[in-house]
Amino acid sequence: ITSKEVFARAKHDIELIRQIQDLMENKGFIKPIPDEIIEKAWLEAAP
């Protein structure tokens, strides 16, 4: 797996997380999570 593929996957996952966040915010469940935290969590979870 290339770093380009990893980056593409990270970008996709982050987009997905943002969509879920938007949905939850609209329903009043959560406050927004800063991008840095999402990206940090994704990087830590990456193999």
- pLDDT value at residue 30: 63
**CA separation for the pair 9, 32 (Å, rounded):** 22
Q: For 5-43, how does the pLDDT look when each residue is reduced to its tens digit (9 = 90+)?
A: 888 888 888 888 888 888 887 777 766 677 888 788 888
Residue range of the domain that includes 40: 3-45
**CA separation for the pair 35, 30 (Å, rounded):** 15
At 46, the pLDDT band (50, 70, 90 cuts) reads confident
Question: What pTM does this model have?
Answer: 0.46
- pLDDT value at residue 20: 86
- pLDDT value at residue 2: 84
| b (16+ CB within 10 A) / e for 22-40 | eeeeeeeeeeeeeeeebee
- pLDDT value at residue 11: 86
- Number of compact structural domains in the chain: 1
